């Protein structure tokens, strides 16, 4: 215990000294302070406008009982202890140690439910686990602002994997979950075997590729630095903010009509209305801002992890109509992940897994098949239809038309064999000699019995084929 405490103290001291050495980013701080009055004015204007629109409902919250869709029947809800007094709510279909682990991290202002389609789609091949990250929904909500730094967020990922009895996982993440996933993959080599990031920039690339357009799209960062007002934005009028995000029909919401239903929004509202959840989810942005200004020193392991070149396969999926994050965040992505594959989905918003789940599944299926785990025999989903056991029916279908005339020919001896066993040789000899016209007349008359009962011929054809195979054997 004392050596471990000393090691932790050394790391904290190293982080403090490193933060002091780097110093405060004064130019950035001054720029932010200059923009804060405008951020305050715009947010106040929005809140006042909403209050005037519905003054009696502005502070109202309706009690709600969340009803999950039937496809999630059998889902297991549990609280996983990740240490430090923090428990994370997780949803899965139970422990399945014979399958590889696929872990899902959500973004803002979501919860585990944003992965509902992916949990169902990948459950047959993986042990799928979607978590509420710290501060969200019913997961623990530490009070300290520093508890939402990348140091603790990445440590949660490693602790989750261990708590699930694994040493590694396929990590799938979106938005803030993506930023955490990039850092966790770098901080803990070997923890992440395959990384899938949806609309979540690598922290280093975000800072390096910061453009005027991206600064304009990140205006809400300034909103979220203000006290109390951002929480009011998320909670006023029974969390009408969630209706705007998921069903608003504008550039900020999901583009595909009907992608998110009213009952889905109810789940998100219930999550953000959990006591302390609004403040805790906003603390991600507040801690990140302090870190970018040098006011919240970054842990040296996190720094090293962000600078590490990732050696695992990486899949990055972006929406072409992402309102929050520009495509410029993908520039030089091969420098942080040389084995990265990038897909930009047309007519897709920031909310990829809700907006285009089928296309996302197709991309992920192909990529996972192209990058199998060590010792895992995972055929490509495209190859499965080709390997279908359909040649046998085709062979039977080809054999049937060939066999259909044969039973008709065989019906002659069978029909004659019952009344006159020796009559078979006579028509054959007469047919070979072609001498007696009476035999020809009999041959023309003999096919008539099958034609008189066409409904019986399909059932007779397989039976007639068996005697035909038996006659050569005799």
Query: Catalytic positions, please?
Result: 175, 285, 350
Peptide bond into 109 cis (omega under 30): yes
- Contact status, residue 135 vs residue 234, Cβ threshold 8 Å: no
What contacts 24+ positions apart, CB below 8 Å, involve 328-334? Answer: 328/209, 328/211, 328/213, 328/214, 329/201, 329/202, 329/205, 329/206, 329/209, 329/214, 330/205, 331/205, 331/209, 332/205, 332/208, 332/209, 333/202, 333/205
The closest of 51, 42, 165 to 97, measured between CA atoms, is: 165
Q: Can you give the length of the chain in residues? A: 474
Taking the C-alpha atoms of residue 263 and residue 45, their distance in angstroms, rounded to an integer, is: 30
CB-based burial of residue 411 (10 Å sphere; 0-12 exposed, 13-18 middle, 19+ buried)?
middle
Phi, psi (deg, nearest 5) at residue 88: -110, 130
Taking the C-alpha atoms of residue 337 and residue 305, their distance in angstroms, rounded to an integer, is: 12
133 C-beta neighbours (distance < 10 Å), count: 28
The token duo for 311 is: 């050696």
| Unique residue bearing structure tokens 């309102």 | 323
- Contact status, residue 91 vs residue 118, Cβ threshold 8 Å: no
Q: In sequence order, which residues have a C-beta less than 8 Å from that of residue 403 and are 6 or more positions away?
A: 461, 462, 464, 465
């Amino acid at each position: 215990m004392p050596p471990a405490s000393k090691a932790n103290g050394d790391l904290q001291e190293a982080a403090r000294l490193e933060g002091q050495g780097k110093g405060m980013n004064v130019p950035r701080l001054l720029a932010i302070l200059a923009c804060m009055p405008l951020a305050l004015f715009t947010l106040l204007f929005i809140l006042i406008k909403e209050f005037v629109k519905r003054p009696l409902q502005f502070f109202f919250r309706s009690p709600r009982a969340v009803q999950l869709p039937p496809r999630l029947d059998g889902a297991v809800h549990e609280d996983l202890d990740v240490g430090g007094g923090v428990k994370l709510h997780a949803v899965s279909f139970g422990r399945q140690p014979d399958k590889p682990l696929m872990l899902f991290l959500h973004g803002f202002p979501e919860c585990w439910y944003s992965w509902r389609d992916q949990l169902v789609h990948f459950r047959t091949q993986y042990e799928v686990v979607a978590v509420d990250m710290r501060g969200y929904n019913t997961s623990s909500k530490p009070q300290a602002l520093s508890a939402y730094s990348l140091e603790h967020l990445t440590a949660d990922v490693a602790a989750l994997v261990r708590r699930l009895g694994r040493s590694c996982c396929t990590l799938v993440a979106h938005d803030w979950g993506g930023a955490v996933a990039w850092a966790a993959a770098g901080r803990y080599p070997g923890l992440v075997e395959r990384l899938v990031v949806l609309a979540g920039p690598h922290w280093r690339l975000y800072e390096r590729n910061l453009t005027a357009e991206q600064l304009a799209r990140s205006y809400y960062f300034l909103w979220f630095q203000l006290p109390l007002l951002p929480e009011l934005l998320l909670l006023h009028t029974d969390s009408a903010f969630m209706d705007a995000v998921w069903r608003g029909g504008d550039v900020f919401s999901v583009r595909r009509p009907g992608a998110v239903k009213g009952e889905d929004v109810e789940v998100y509202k219930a999550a953000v209305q959990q006591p302390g959840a609004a403040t805790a989810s906003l603390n991600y942005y507040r801690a990140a801002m302090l870190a970018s200004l040098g006011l919240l020193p970054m842990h040296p392991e996190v720094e090293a992890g962000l600078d590490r070149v990732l050696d695992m396969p990486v899949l990055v999926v972006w929406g072409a109509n992402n309102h929050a994050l520009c495509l410029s965040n993908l520039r030089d992505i091969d420098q942080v992940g040389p084995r990265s594959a990038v897909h930009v989905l047309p007519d897709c918003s920031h909310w990829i897994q809700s907006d285009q789940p089928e296309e996302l599944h197709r991309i992920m299926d192909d990529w996972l098949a192209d990058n199998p785990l060590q010792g895992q025999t995972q055929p490509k989903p495209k190859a499965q239809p080709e390997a279908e056991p359909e040649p046998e029916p085709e062979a039977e279908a080809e054999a049937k038309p060939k066999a259909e005339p044969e039973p008709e020919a065989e019906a002659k001896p069978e029909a004659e064999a019952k009344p006159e066993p020796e009559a078979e040789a006579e028509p054959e000899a007469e047919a070979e000699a072609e001498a007696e016209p009476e035999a020809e007349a009999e041959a023309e008359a003999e096919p008539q019995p099958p034609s008189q009962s066409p409904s019986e011929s399909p059932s007779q054809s397989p039976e007639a084929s068996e005697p035909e195979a038996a006659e050569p054997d005799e």
